[in-house]
A and B are shown apart, each in its own frame.
Chain A
Amino acid sequence: MTLDEFKTQCAALAAEAPARVDAAASLDDWTAVRNDLVGRAAGRLTAIMSTLGTLPPEARREAGQLANAVKVEIERLLDARRDALAAAAPSGPRLDRTMPARAAWRGARHPVTLVIDEICGIFRELGFTIALGPEAEHEWYNFGALNFPDDHPAMDMHDTLYLGEGALLRTHTSPVQVRTMQAYPPPIRVLAPGNVYRRDFFDATHAPAFAQLEGLAVDEGISFVDLKATLNEFARRFYGGTRRTRFGPSFFPFTEPSAQMDVEIDLGDGRGTRWVEILGCGMVHPAVLESAGLDSTKYTGWAFGMGPGRIAMSRHGLPDIRLLYDSDVRFLEQFAE
């Protein structure tokens, strides 16, 4: 083939192409036209270009450029036509887009876990890490190390499930305080979430096993002001910045001074507000520091404890705590992510 013949063929194709492309009335037509003109397998341009090798070497460059220009032009026409056809084509019968997406089971964190994770997240931002301890615990860690006098009425607040002599199911997460202080030197800033046990029968508001969350900060010079400021900062992030808090007297054998923190909860619907106790707290009792072998004249600390289950019940409007334990899939699915 000569260069002239090659040019002629290209020109013929270029001249014919606009009418052919315009004539395509559907996407199927369009596909056929495209395959005929520029298809890789049987396209006419492809056939023309396959003759490049038969041209004299000095003509190939010019011929190649020409063929490529024709290809670019035809593809431009094809793209425009396809867009026009696609815009005009009614797609309804093929894909009824009102029908539901393919379904997959959705997973969910337990509502109590959601609360724990949120609280841990906030205290993480404030520089706390997570500590854990066993649920089956030595009596000493649960009571003795925490300054509970032997056989004292303070124990009545902890109706205990015993496993044997000196062994029990921990009644609070506070044993983790002592374990942590024994294992790591101050400064300590930890949060200890976990399950605790009381000898309470299941009813609408009680359960024999429930989640608790403990916080502990120990260092030189830690004061009640640090306790207040940190817990207030937590409350601002957890409940929203405008929520008021207050601190009142309380009693725990392992803190002195002891306090409770209340948050003002909006009842909604213009029904005003109500103060709700959300946590107990206080300065770590020097006897507790001494239990862990720390010098109580050098170190001070503060601690708090709260119940994520109660918060979950109040924020989700749960009328009965047993919903949290029954594990009804229809309940858990309501918290799907």
Chain B
Amino acid sequence: MNASYDWLSAFVAHGRTPEQLGELIGRHVATLDGIERLRADLVPFVVGRVVETEKIPETKLSFNKVDDGSGTLLEVVCGAPNVTAGKVYPFARTGTLMPAGITIEKRKIRGFTSNGMLCSARELGLGTEHDGILELDTDAAPGTPLLDVLPIGDVRLEIDVLANRPDLLSHRGMAREVAVLTGAPLRTPAELGAPLAGAATVVGAAHATSGAVQVRVDDLDGCPAYMAVAIRGVTVGPSPDWLARRVESVVGRSINNVVDATNYLLHGYGQPMHAFDLGTLAQQTIIVRKAKPGEAIVTLDGVTRTLTPSMTVIADGARAVAVAGVMGGRDSEVTAATTDILLEVAYFAPRGVRATRRALGLNTDASYRYERGTDPRALEETLRIAASLIVAVAGGRVDGAPIHVGRAADAFAAPAVPLSRARLRTVLGTDVPPADVQRRLGSIGFSVRGTDDGWQATPPSWRVDVSRDVDLIEDVARLIGYDALPDELRPQRPGTVPDHPLHVTAQRVRDALVGAGLLEARPSPFVKGSDETHVRVANPLADDEPHLRTSLLETLARRAEYNLTRKQRAVRLFEIGSAFAKASGVLPKEEVRVGVLLMGARRPVHFTEPAPPDVDAWDAKAVGELVAAAGFPGARVKLEAADTGEPDGVLWRIVVEGTPRGVVRTVALDAPVWAASAFGVELTLGVLPSAFVADKGTHAHAEERTPPKRHFVQYAPLPVMEAAQFDLALLVADEMPAAEVERVIRRNSGDLLESLLLFDEFRGTGVPAGKRSLAWRLTFRHPERTLRDKEIDGRRSQLLKTLEKELGVIPRST
């Protein structure tokens, strides 16, 4: 909320500067977002006194000597007709920047030097008056800052009032706290006269009549209390300066004396208020009721709004004239022609106002306060202040007694809240003297009674947020000041919660990928998918991305395209994040996955390799193995070749302990011709369970939790005997998988085969078309003795025979 420093000061003589006041509020009441001087541009102007003046012949100009408090009289040329010796005016010294944007400089006019400028109201941005310079009515000495003598130097405090403290949404509410914090008493602003005295309020349970005005409340749920009073013979016109200034300091625009008066009560006292043109109300009757099906109203903003029967309206004898707690109707608006008004204050139920303003999409200063909770016991006070204010600024007379329909003020009493001394000490971690607790709570309106073990505190009617002991503890703590509480590390017990295994896994995978030279991305997970395959956001931000991704590669692909549009050819991104799959329950199935997208140069250019090759499927396969090893340490991982012609360009499936958990694949991009092929790797690291841990209000502490399975490397004895090696270069048909050949080699090599390494693939000279030469290096080792050459040669020829017999594979002739 925007609070005016001057207005706050009218409620409490706190004796603080705006900065000090802001600090006080920020430490004890609510967050201070900023302090803004409303006319900071007028800071350099001072009061100047014209000591001598003489006309410059044959011109409209005068030559003056001006005292600006500097001790030297300044020579100033002025074009205004009303310069008078001895009077004081706003003065701009040389170097001053005028609100219009020009800087006052020393200059020669008609042979006279001018060292500054005496200013008109218009030149100061204070109105349109430009017939002459602005004569100041002040005793202030020359040189005094202009803002100290003109009542336009207000300062705006921008205070972030949160949803639990609607009582702070007014100057009086804020002043109440300031009064407590400074010890200065809360007072009624001097600008307000005595509240309306006279006739006692006419009270009715559901309807009441006063003079010619009748009020009936049919919807006591939506409107538990309603008050009104008629004022006749008003003259609607401009507000007096002081009222216009108050309203402008927070609202921005003065409208007319009657509307400004209601706004004064809203921003001054936190009570929304509405003035109807009584002459437009059929039968001078107010009926508060639910809207009728299809009923429509043109609200003050000129929009025709169709209402529903869940909404509360204010109606006259014929039709709805206001949407309760939200906005008045245009037909009953106070205009320049209005003479009689009906002034309304009410307590509307917060939920009803909230539902209505949401349904209408109409957020107003009134609805903002009603939906958070206004003070139900302040109706009478604020109505009487408003009535006397309107009579004071717009004339007219109050006609008849105020009417009150609905629950009486006393019926809104809140229950007392107990607080024990032990609880206070436990929560705050320090002792507060009991008398201090009682005094502090009492100072902000609680009625406090001591009990055996603590206190019973009844909140004031404006504190809608207090229902439990911790609410009282917060008030005590913030009034003392959080900063005044001890700052002391105390003994603590270690916790029972182990690290979440998916966090541990994610850290390990991230370390591995960063180590492998990849860049981590954290894109937004919204995509354009299809309702068949994707989870749809019910109220998406953008219609072009209404779905949640089912795969991390969906978003990484868009990020790769983004890089391509910025001429980045080498893209190597990875992400660890959630993917969402449609599921039969309330929530989608959420998996934590790692996704990698690779394209472009495998390495940066180096003079030893001026054109590094682009990444290919083998690089992608290696990353697939890397993430699987990091994600599932010690597990059996296999990258199974996918059948050719798989959808989505899948090249390999990453199979962990027999379960397919991911893929290595090509990624189709919307890419320019110079872009390289893109490859993707995606692996599911685990499921984030979203089912209820336990029923609401219960826990599952006794539940057995299985610790994650551990894999420990089992040591293999180091070899002590020499190994024997030979290579096999074989002609293998293109369509025959290398794995097939390997299987035959392994099956026929016996236990002594230590390793089988595919080290070359060659197509070309000497290799028939449709075939390729694949070369393996076989290493044999006996654990206890050196293998003899003869044994090795024997194996070699045996293997070649078997390969030819079983697969038709023959050695490449050398």
Contacts and interface: CB of A to CB of B under 8 A. Distances in A.
Interface of A: 99-100, 102-110, 112-113, 127-138, 140, 144-145, 151-154, 156-157, 161-167, 169, 178-190, 195, 199-202, 207-209, 211, 217, 219, 221, 223-226, 228-230, 232-233, 246-251, 253, 256-260, 277, 283, 285-287, 290-294, 300, 324-330, 332-333, 336-337
A3 B552 CA distance: 82
Given A153-B371, A153-B372, 12 more contacts: A105-B572, A113-B522, A134-B690, A138-B586, A153-B354, A186-B496, A246-B482, A249-B28, A257-B473, A292-B697, A327-B562, A327-B563
Contacts of B165: 251
Given A188-B495, A225-B485, A251-B162, A208 B521 contact: no
B309 to A, nearest CB: 19
Given A248-B26, A325-B522, A107 B513 contact: yes
B688 A133 contact: yes
Nearest to A183: B693
A223 B426 contact: yes
15 contacts: A105-B570, A107-B520, A109-B520, A112-B522, A113-B510, A129-B497, A132-B688, A151-B351, A161-B539, A202-B524, A209-B526, A249-B482, A277-B31, A327-B559, A336-B519
A292 B496 CA distance: 16
A182 B607 CA distance: 60
B514 A107 contact: yes
A183 B694 CA distance: 8
B667 interface: no
B521 A291 contact: no
Nearest to A96: B607
B807 interface: no
| 10 A-B pairs with the lowest CB-CB distances in the bound complex, closest first | A223-B429, A225-B429, A105-B517, A257-B474, A251-B162, A107-B514, A293-B699, A247-B482, A189-B495, A103-B604
A190 B495 contact: yes
A224 B427 contact: yes
B499 interface: yes
Contacts of A246: 27, 482-483
A221 B496 CA distance: 17
Contacts of B494: 127, 187, 189
B497 A180 contact: yes
B805 interface: no
B361 to A, nearest CB: 13
B362 interface: no
B477 interface: yes
B189 interface: no
A127 B577 contact: no
B432 to A, nearest CB: 11
A294 B541 contact: no
Contacts of A129: 495, 497-499
Contacts of B28: 248-249
B532 interface: no
Contacts of A225: 428-430, 485-488, 490
A229 B696 contact: no
A129 to B, nearest CB: 5
Contact of B429 (A107, A224, A260, A326): A224
A189 B568 contact: no
A240 B700 CA distance: 41
A329 B563 contact: yes
Nearest to B589: A136
Contacts of B490: 225-226, 229
B478 interface: yes
A333 B426 contact: no
A98 B427 CA distance: 66
A134 B590 contact: yes
Contacts of A161: 537-541
Chain B facing A: main interface SS: loop
B495 A152 contact: no
A250 B29 CA distance: 8
Interface in B521-559: 521-526, 535-542, 548, 556, 559
B538 A163 contact: yes
A256 B470 contact: yes
Contacts of B603: 103-105
B495 A127 contact: yes
B27 A107 contact: no
B500 A162 contact: no
Contacts of A188: 495-497
A104 B699 contact: no
Q: Which interface class (under 10, 10 to 19, 20 to 34, 35 or more) fits B?
A: 35 or more
B514 A136 contact: no
Nearest to B524: A209
Nearest to B519: A332
B573 interface: yes
A208 B541 contact: yes
Contacts of B688: 132-135
B588 interface: yes
Nearest to A106: B517
B502 A132 contact: yes
B604 to A, nearest CB: 4
B218 to A, nearest CB: 24
Given A105-B517, A182-B699, A201-B541, A285 B587 contact: no
A138 B587 contact: yes
A129 B507 CA distance: 14
A108 B514 contact: yes
B515 interface: yes
B499 A248 contact: no
A256 to B, nearest CB: 4
Contacts of B510: 109, 113
B665 to A, nearest CB: 20
Contacts of B690: 133-134, 136-138
Contacts of A152: 163
A187 B496 contact: yes
A179 to B, nearest CB: 5
A326 B537 CA distance: 22
Contacts of B371: 153
B497 A184 contact: yes
B606 interface: yes
Contacts of A131: 497, 500
Contacts of A233: 489
A229 B487 CA distance: 5
A104 B563 CA distance: 20
B482 A228 contact: yes
A293 B482 contact: no
Interface string B412-425: 00000000000000
B693 A182 contact: yes
Given A130-B500, A169-B537, A105 B604 contact: yes
A52 B604 CA distance: 59
B584 interface: no
Contacts of A209: 524-526
Nearest to A284: B470
A248 B524 contact: no
Contact of A327 (B470, B525, B539, B573): B573
Contacts of A145: 696
A107 B573 CA distance: 9
Contacts of B30: 249
B689 interface: yes
B446 interface: no
Interface in B557-591: 559, 562-563, 566, 568, 570-573, 577-578, 580, 586-588, 590
A156 B367 CA distance: 13
